[in-house]
Structure 1
Amino acid sequence: MAYFDHAATTRLSEQVRKAMDRHLREIYGNPSSLHTPGIEARKTINSVKNRLAEHFGVTRQNIIFTSSGTEANNLALKGMYFRHPDAQIVTTTIEHHATENSVRFLERIGCKTAWIRVDRDGFIDLDALKQALKRDTSLVSIIYANNEIGTVQPLKKIIPLVHEHGARLHLDMVQVPLHQAIDFPALGVDFVTLSAHKFHGPRGIGCLIARDPALLEPLIHGGQQEFHRRAGTENVATMIGFLTAYEAARAQAKTHNAHVDQLSHYLIEQLNLKAFDYRLNGPDLDHSRLNAILNIGFKDHDAQHLAFQLNRHGIYVSLGSACDSDNIEVSHVLKAIDVPKAYIRGSMRISLSDENTYEEIDHLLKTLETILHET
């Protein structure tokens, strides 16, 4: 098996599984209960949040655990709108569907919005952003590292524009923790979305880091959990999994990034040597991008056919966002960056991690060569 879909999800690490298993067996009390098992669970949550807060450079009150990155994006967008219904929300044309479809929903119920175009590498049009920002803009929501093409946005140019107009900035950073630390104060933003299963943690838990959680109207009502921002009995085991996975990602980041960079360069070099007629969608390697995410278009080929044939050989890639697998339309991201017609339908995403090997890359290339010659 050669798994090249790490931008969709990652394998749960054995270290994380063991940490979660111990807490599933030993800490089973409801954290809201006032007996010993409940108090033990509450102490565990507080410990997890305090350690994460230290990593992120915030306090535990700034961390809102959610069920996913999707829920965290929804909380940032809808939470701001429901508190500030007369204000404008600004986003881009290459967002993850969790953001795109949330903003579309808000439009339908009366929210004022602005959609900012990007260039052919996926970088936001700063002039268009400046023109769209108004004094009544409440939130700008941007995917920091794009999940389909890897583009990393120029924060140092975006942040001054946003804050100059009194708006808040939300970053979808779901793809980031394997590659860089989340230093919230250094980022200088107002909200950050993360999701554990993107860095070898469990599915079913994400978080929203909020500079001022009071700006958000809760989406889920009930108890007083998550400092009144997200009701529901906490899933202590997945919180432990989130922390364990994040700390492991930070400890292994240097070797992970070095290996992934080497693999990505090797893959592109081999595509060139073998004279594949392809296009790398998004920025060139090492140019404000995550080298782990390679969206490659093969001229005059059908990516669905390529992915199906690769799957038969035990090679697993993606056609784009795994959260939209039922949609066979061309990716809105590839449309937004104006990928040429000859390449857009032959585009697939190869997303790497330090678990991939040179042998797997060779297997991918050899199999691709055979499939392309047969079609």
Structure 2
Amino acid sequence: MDIRRLVDSPGRGAGGLLAIPLVLIIVITVAGVVSPSSVHLGPLLVIAPALTASFAGPWRTAIIGALAVGAQALVAALNGGVGTANHVWQFTALVVLSVLVVFFCYLREGHTRQLSRVRVVAETAQRVLLRPPPERVGPLRAAWRYVTADADAQIGGDLFAVVRTGRGGTRVIIGDVRGKGLAAIGEASVVLGAFREGARHCETLPDLVQAMDQSVGADLEDVADSADDPGEHFVTALVLDLPDDGRQGTMISCGHPPPLLLRDGRVTVLDSSAPSPPLGLGLPAGGPHCDAFAFADGDTLLLYTDGVIEARSPQGAFYPLADRAATFPPGRPEALLRHLLHDVTAHTGGRLADDVAVLAVERVPAPAPGTAPDRRST
């Protein structure tokens, strides 16, 4: 899960910036010494600690503040006004303001550390929750990417999983929880927990989706009427069953964007003929509809969340995923996702408006006896 480190504490990498307040102190001190006694530049020295607090921690800010106070005393001594009321008040005001700046800098750094710890815990929970699939899963080769729109948040509601059934097959899910943050992680945990349990025990894909919908519905009832609840809860999901010994797969769409099938440079959109409502909103009376599709050796399935197809260019045009995927060079799933994310980012002008989760699954041809395994370039 391409999760980046979150928030550096103030002061890291600030050594070079310290030259700015130091130069300010020197310039103001020299100007105060050479200026007429009627011109008082000492109050400007408070700029130095205030500026330092914007990029450094409390200790460095305190040092700059002490230097500013010392510079004020030097100016007063050289101008012969150490004992005058004007210089005493200037000196006192500078000391008080410097102390206040250091104090608030200390509070800010404490809050930043606390926020960083909370975010790291949330990221760790999300990483453990998703359990990204390995590169090889039975006869399949898989790759994934997860990118959050907000570089500071790192916590989203997109989810995916790849699970071996124990009966000669693999089941796959990709989904999108309404909302973000810790609440979204909690709901995603319910979905993935129900999926992993049902993927191994449910005989059919409709049975699995029904079990997931019941689990999600029961969980959402517990939070739907809470005081801080925004109102509507649901989870879009696409669930697939990929047997090892066949050249066909089945899928059930619960309000999720359709997957793409890549075969020999051609792209096919696998639309569901009768998609079900999102999980948590109740399934049709007859149960979810299951669609079959061909999935032969060398084919690749591209699964994604709506952050991909809803990505807009600066002119407001949506990202044409199916058209663009047909132009990507052939390669392993890892290379496919690398090209995709680079292309989406270029389409949006460098910034995503929503979280993006993508999962590519390729059926790897079994090597013929006496031949080397597939070594296509990534």
TM-score, normalised by the number of residues in structure 2: 0.21
Determine which structure has more spread, i.e. the larger CA radius of gyration.
Answer: 2
**Higher relative contact order by CA 8 Å / sep ≥ 6: 1 or 2?**
1
